[in-house]
Amino acid sequence: MKINSVLFSVMLMLCCAVTIQAESCVGRCGGSFSPSQPCQCNDACMRVGDCCSDYQAVCLRESCIGRCGDDFSTAHTCQCNSNCQRYDDCCEDYDITCESGSGEENEITDTELLGIGNTLWESDHLRYTDSEIAINADGNELFSYVDERKLSQPSYALFIALLNNYNPLNDQREPNLTSAELAETEAFLNHVASSQVMSHVNNLLESRGKIQRGALKDVLYDLWFSFYGRRSSMTFADSSGFEHVFVGEKKSNKINGFHSWVQMYLLQKSGNLDYLGYNAKSEPSLIDTKFNWDGLYKARGSMFVVSFTKPVRYDANYCTFVNIGTSPEFDMALYTLCMLARPGQQCNTQIQDNIVSIQTYDVSHVSGIQVATAFPMVSNSK
């Protein structure tokens, strides 16, 4: 009896150990869906709501990417400044990312941020020209002409293919992306990561230890395409940076996010958007619009869209302006730079002879850095 009792105890311990292991993400991060496991440890689990309890702690470990030199914060489980070595609370990648405690010295300066704006602007070779697009800022529809032949080029076509991959309703679980939709995301990321405009951003971020060498594509995915719950109390994912900024989200009786001129044009064309005028406009190519999308109101929606210094025609009723629409990779490159260089702050750069301010916010209740929102500030009144 004593032997049987010991044997039973051993078997019970082994059984419990297997159960505990199965309910943990240790050694399982990034694995494919397993129906034999009670919980999962991959990107999809946040959307489906079946993550193991230690998924965020094990698979989404705190990183110093974009945080080098930041002040101590109780919102993070580890720190990324020179004091963290003294208090033994550095993140695991502190030495690699912040170059052994020199994070403050490697910060991107205000002068560098101001200087890179025109470099990005001049590298945006797929930006719409004054013969390809025009708007009527005071009319019933914002866009009076768009040369759609350009929308078939990879920059725009790959971007447009992503716009219907999301459920824009907040507080509703995001659908599982199909293999075709995942391939669309991959194709867009490949294009953006290899673009000339993004290469300038990548070089600056790598040189200052904001991202590891060769990690750009992974960083872009985490920033823009990782799903999360927009509210900290949510047990499932209903949002992502890309969806919020470039697609727009519907919440109760209003629109959140939505800072893409391409999305706005496509919804106007389909008859699903009612343009209600603008709050402000400023150089270069910035407008703060107000509109209804499927009956829901957007009070302020700023985006790069138009140059106001070249009127095409003017009469007593309205003025139509030449439009210079920025490419998707320009918007993502500039927002990514500001998200990692000045998260949660206004990020100032110079484009042509104008100072442009970008505001970004991180998802504070999720470990790591994901885009909660990013948009240009439009200060000049109409």
Q: With pLDDT > 90 as the criterion, what percentage of the chain qualifies? A: 39
- pLDDT band at residue 294 using 50, 70 and 90 as cut-offs: confident
Q: % helix / strand / coil in the chain, to the nearest 5?
A: 35, 20, 45
Q: How many domains does the chain have?
A: 2
13 lies in the same domain as 146? no
Q: Determine, yes or no, domain membership for 382.
A: no
Residue 85 pLDDT: 83
322 lies in the same domain as 364? yes
- pLDDT band at residue 147 using 50, 70 and 90 as cut-offs: very high
Alpha-carbon gap, residue 147 to 119, rounded angstroms? 25
- Of 259, 269, 290, 365, the catalytic one is 259
61 lies in the same domain as 186? no
Residue 380 pLDDT: 46
pLDDT reading at 308 higher than 50:
no
Q: Determine, yes or no, domain membership for 215.
A: yes
**Which residues contact residue 193 at a Cβ distance below 8 angstroms, ignoring those fewer than 6 apart?**
202, 216, 217, 220
Segment 208-230, tens digit of pLDDT: 889 988 999 999 999 999 999 98
116 lies in the same domain as 68? no
Q: Determine, yes or no, domain membership for 117.
A: yes
- pLDDT band at residue 101 using 50, 70 and 90 as cut-offs: very low
More confident residue, 165 or 90: 165
Q: Determine, yes or no, domain membership for 130.
A: yes
68 lies in the same domain as 202? no
Q: Which of the given ranges, 16-20, 79-83, 121-125, has the highest pLDDT on average?
A: 121-125
What DSSP state is assigned to residue 245? I
Strand order in the sheet with 254-256: 249-251, 254-256, 296-304, 286-293, 273-282
Active site residue 259: yes
Neighbours of 118 (CB within 10 A): 14
- Of 150, 244, 250, 281, the catalytic one is 244
Mean pLDDT of 194-198: 96
Residue 21 pLDDT: 45
46 lies in the same domain as 175? no
Active site residue 191: no
121 lies in the same domain as 162? yes
Q: Which of the given ranges, 29-33, 115-119, 185-189, 366-370, has the highest pLDDT on average?
A: 185-189
Q: Which of the given ranges, 44-48, 287-291, 303-307, 361-365, has the highest pLDDT on average?
A: 361-365
- In which domain, by residue range, is 61 found? 2-98
Q: Tell the burial category of 1 from Cβ atoms under 10 Å away from its Cβ (0-12, 13-18, 19+).
A: exposed
Q: Which tokens is 20 given?
A: 């505990």
Q: Determine, yes or no, domain membership for 225.
A: yes
Segment 7-59, tens digit of pLDDT: 445 444 444 433 444 578 776 776 667 788 888 877 667 656 778 877 766 66
Segment 133-142, tens digit of pLDDT: 888 888 899 8
**Cβ(357)–Cβ(114) below 8 Å:** no
**Which residues contact residue 121 at a Cβ distance below 8 angstroms, ignoring those fewer than 6 apart?**
127, 284, 330, 351, 352
68, 98, 128 — which closes off a domain?
Answer: 98
- Of 298, 310, 365, 382, the catalytic one is 298
Segment 258-286, tens digit of pLDDT: 999 999 999 999 999 999 887 777 665 67
Closest C-alpha among 112, 30, 51, 127 to residue 348 = 112
Alpha-carbon gap, residue 109 to 199, rounded angstroms? 19
Alpha-carbon gap, residue 304 to 301, rounded angstroms? 10
Residue 231 pLDDT: 86
Active site residue 298: yes
What DSSP state is assigned to residue 289? E
50, 77, 98 — which closes off a domain?
Answer: 98
Taking CA atoms, 345 is separated from 38, 181, 230, 299, 321, in Å, by: 41, 33, 20, 22, 31
38, 66, 98 — which closes off a domain?
Answer: 98
Closest C-alpha among 272, 324, 303 to residue 129 = 324
Q: Which tokens is 345 given?
A: 């702050």
Q: Determine, yes or no, domain membership for 105.
A: no
92 lies in the same domain as 116? no
88 lies in the same domain as 237? no
290 lies in the same domain as 325? yes
Q: What is the mean pLDDT of the chain?
A: 80
pLDDT reading at 313 higher than 80:
no
Q: Determine, yes or no, domain membership for 80.
A: yes
Residue 48 pLDDT: 66
Q: Determine, yes or no, domain membership for 26.
A: yes
Closest C-alpha among 305, 252, 247, 242 to residue 273 = 247
pTM above threshold 0.85: no
What DSSP state is assigned to residue 81? S
Alpha-carbon gap, residue 374 to 257, rounded angstroms? 8
342 lies in the same domain as 310? yes
Q: Which tokens is 210 given?
A: 């904001």
Looking at 92-101, 176-185, 196-205, which range is the least confident one? 92-101
